[in-house]
Amino acid sequence: MKIVSGKRMCRNLEEREWTLARINGSHHIYRHTATRRRTSVPIHANKDLKPGTQRGIMRDAGLTDDDL
């Protein structure tokens, strides 16, 4: 699995019809326009996401390693 930063994950989500619903502290909450599903992405400068966190976001968003 390719490890990415929170900012890069946000760009990937936005390319796939996810919109920023709100920001709560350092967490950006995204909502999918068609399915109304929701996921949260922690943004801590340009630090990489932890592997478990990244896997959870990818599972919520339906992303694969090829999408990154």
- Crossing angle of helices 6-15/51-61, nearest 10°? 10
Low-confidence ranges of the chain (pLDDT < 70): none
- Please report the pLDDT score of residue 40 as a whole number: 96
- Please report the pLDDT score of residue 45 as a whole number: 86
- Please report the pLDDT score of residue 39 as a whole number: 96
- Please report the pLDDT score of residue 43 as a whole number: 95
Domain boundaries along the sequence of the chain: 6-60
| CATH code that applies to domain 6-60 | 3.30.920.30
- Please report the pLDDT score of residue 68 as a whole number: 82
